[in-house]
Chain A
Amino acid sequence: MLRYFLSRLLSLCLSLVVASVAIFAVVEVIPGDPAAFMLGLNASPDTVAALRAELGLEGGKLARYFDWIGGLLVGDFGVSYTYRVPVSELVLARLWVSLPLTVYALILSTVIAVPVGVVAASRRGSTADYGVMAATQLGIAVPNFWFAMLLVLVFAINLGWFSAGGFPGWDKGVWINLRALTLPAVALALPQAAILARVMRSSLLETLGQDYIRTARAKGLSRRQAVLGHGLRNALIPVMTILGLQFSFLLAGAIIIENVFFLPGLGRLIFQGITQRDLIVVESVVMLLVFAVILVTFLVDLAYAAVDPRLRRR
């Protein structure tokens, strides 16, 4: 078990190092002089030089990389060029919108998809199964941002149940904010739930064909007992893989959805960073997103070991 944990941890660190090098290379090395890039074509050489000094671009590339990484490790993301505040402050504030949104969507997606997939698999070939398959087929085809627009049209503009966008802030209370995040979370979650339900269904169908299900039936378990008692846990292993991937899809999807609903999250921050050529912000937010994805992959690996004893020995 310890071996497995350590090997996953090593892989986590390795991924982080390589990812950070890749991001650093794309942002700070390929464009040549980041300072000139950020200021645009009309900047005077003096301003460029001043910004270079401010950004600490004087040193060699290697030294700059280690400066950057060292800063990240202690929570120093640098100073935003446009906002003139530490990037960590910006990011932290926005994280409190993006992270709850992603988790909200992930929970919604799982809570909807797993039971639906289980029902469809255990009643294979029934009307319910065909209904689920048709609905999920449609769900996969719907772009989440368009779905978000439809939700706004129906539930905000026509019915007036929710606001069309905006975020009050956590100091205004929990419920009002959860309400504000509900439409975005639904828009994010339903297309992903469609995928997850299909994976759950096919994975459970596959385990139901296994010999140990027949053994369980021969022991006197009913179909239902065999499905829930022996099929489900084995079927969850591929579902966890998809859940891990979904986290990264949801996080990326949140970037777009935040634009639909005018939510002040990381997505909005990153687009502001791009339009204002604020590379420091873009670089830091991308690194943070990648870190989150790698961390979730690591957690999924640990969850495998919890579910599947065969992995623990390795």
Chain B
Amino acid sequence: MRLPAQLWAGAALSGVFVAAALISLIWTPHPVEGMNIAARLKVPGDGFVLGTDHFGRDILSMLMVGAQTSIAVAVVAVGIGMAAGVPLGLLGAANRGGWIDEIVMRGNDLVFAFPSLVIAILITAVFGPSAVNAILAIGIFNIPVFARVTRGGALSLWTLDYILAARVAGKGRLRISVEHILPNVANLLIVQGTIQFSLGILAEAGLSYVGLGAQPPVPSWGRMLAESQTMISFAPHLALLPGMAIVLTVLGLNLMGDGLRDVLDPRLRRAR
């Protein structure tokens, strides 16, 4: 089977940013915390590959470390969403119409009523802004998303005869959920995971931009954009570069998600 081109393109694109984040753990072209007023607001190429900001910090280095923040926040938030959402979705589907299902669905509706940013605002208003609180806010919003996807996929599987066959073989609902349902909704979860990953990166950028995400001196793409805003007329590269980093990472993840969907969805596979 041929893998779709967009899967490769997406994986390569997101791979670049993951690699940048990993490299920045041990090496960056320049120290990110060092201010160097002499070298402030340099344009790209002038001794610094991507130029410097108003404190003379190297943009490339800050972007690399910023990738760390974005990726870490998104990974943990997806982890929270999956860890809580998938079991809830499986349980809900296994007891369709029962009280567990009812609670899962109503709980989902409730979280959906709070836009993730509003959750973040509430949390930060009370507990103060930080990267951890941003993760929590994004992660909580991911729970109903995964619960819904899992439940939806599981419900359609529960109507299939092989589930009946497993019940005739005396298997309980929990065991069937783990043995027959989970492996067959895994495709959906992988695809949804990449989507939520990219949404997490966007959400983290938004929260940092308004000052509710990672706090200084931890570099983050969103805050770099916020700081660049007043200088946009005379130093547009400060606004363009972090924005492009966000767009390319998210684009890469989305392409990867679409590619994975095409590869993993047996319905589409047959059609091709």
**Is there any pair of Cβ atoms, one from A and one from B, under 8 angstroms apart in the complex?**
yes
Of B113, B124, B246, B247, chain A has the most CB atoms within 10 Å of the CB of B113
**19 other A-B residue contacts (CB within 8 Å) besides A23-B122, A145-B209, A157-B232:** A15-B110, A26-B123, A27-B126, A30-B126, A138-B251, A143-B205, A149-B229, A153-B233, A153-B239, A248-B113, A251-B115, A252-B118, A255-B118, A255-B210, A260-B229, A270-B121, A289-B115, A297-B112, A297-B113
Q: Is the CB of B254 within 8 A of A27?
A: no
Question: A30-44 vs B: 1/0 string, CB under 8 Å?
Answer: 110000010000000
Question: A241-273 vs B: 1/0 string, CB under 8 Å?
Answer: 000010011011101100110000000001101
What is the CB-to-nearest-CB distance from B138 to chain A, in angstroms, rounded to a whole number?
12
What is the CB-to-nearest-CB distance from A94 to chain B, in angstroms, rounded to a whole number?
15
Q: With A30-B126, A146-B246, A293-B115 in contact, is A140–B239 under 8 Å at CB?
A: no
Q: With A19-B110, A259-B210 in contact, is A142–B247 under 8 Å at CB?
A: yes
* In the complex, chain A residues whose CB is within 8 Å of the CB of B142: none
* In the complex, chain A residues whose CB is within 8 Å of the CB of B114: 19, 290, 293
Q: Is the CB of B202 within 8 A of A252?
A: no
Q: Is the CB of A138 within 8 A of B247?
A: yes
What is the bound-complex CA distance between A151 and B159, given in angstroms?
50
Residue of B nearest to A273 (CB): B125
24 contacts between A and B (CB under 8 A): A14-B106, A15-B109, A19-B113, A26-B126, A27-B126, A30-B126, A138-B247, A141-B198, A141-B247, A141-B254, A142-B247, A145-B225, A149-B228, A152-B232, A153-B233, A157-B233, A248-B115, A249-B115, A253-B117, A271-B211, A273-B125, A282-B125, A286-B121, A290-B113
Main secondary structure on B side of the interface with A: helix
Q: With A15-B110, A141-B250, A145-B209 in contact, is A31–B117 under 8 Å at CB?
A: no
B206 beta carbon closer than 8 Å to chain A: yes
B255 beta carbon closer than 8 Å to chain A: yes
CB proximity to B under 8 Å, residues A283-303:
286, 289-290, 293-294, 297
Q: Which residues of A contact B (CB under 8 A)?
A: 11, 14-15, 18-19, 22-23, 26-27, 30-31, 37, 137-138, 140-143, 145-146, 149-150, 152-153, 157, 245, 248-249, 251-253, 255-256, 259-260, 270-271, 273-274, 279, 282, 286, 289-290, 293-294, 297
What is the bound-complex CA distance between A22 and B123, given in angstroms?
12
B243 beta carbon closer than 8 Å to chain A: yes
Query: Which of B116, B121, B122, B243 is within 8 Å of A150, CB to CB?
Result: B243
Q: Is the CB of B225 within 8 A of A146?
A: yes
Residue of A nearest to B110 (CB): A18
What is the bound-complex CA distance between A150 and B244, given in angstroms?
11
What is the bound-complex CA distance between A95 and B5, given in angstroms?
47
* In the complex, chain B residues whose CB is within 8 Å of the CB of A140: 250, 254
* In the complex, chain A residues whose CB is within 8 Å of the CB of B123: 26
B236 beta carbon closer than 8 Å to chain A: yes
Q: Is the CB of B225 within 8 A of A149?
A: yes
Q: Is the CB of B126 within 8 A of A31?
A: yes
* In the complex, chain A residues whose CB is within 8 Å of the CB of B210: 255-256, 259, 271
* In the complex, chain A residues whose CB is within 8 Å of the CB of B243: 142-143, 146, 149-150
The 10 lowest CB-CB distance pairs between A and B, nearest first, are A252-B115, A141-B250, A146-B243, A252-B117, A141-B251, A248-B115, A282-B125, A141-B247, A274-B125, A294-B113
* In the complex, chain B residues whose CB is within 8 Å of the CB of A31: 126
Q: Is the CB of A27 within 8 A of B122?
A: yes
What is the CB-to-nearest-CB distance from B227 to chain A, in angstroms, rounded to a whole number?
12
Q: Is the CB of B206 within 8 A of A145?
A: yes
Q: Is the CB of B118 within 8 A of A22?
A: no
Q: Is the CB of A256 within 8 A of B239?
A: no
Residue of A nearest to B202 (CB): A143
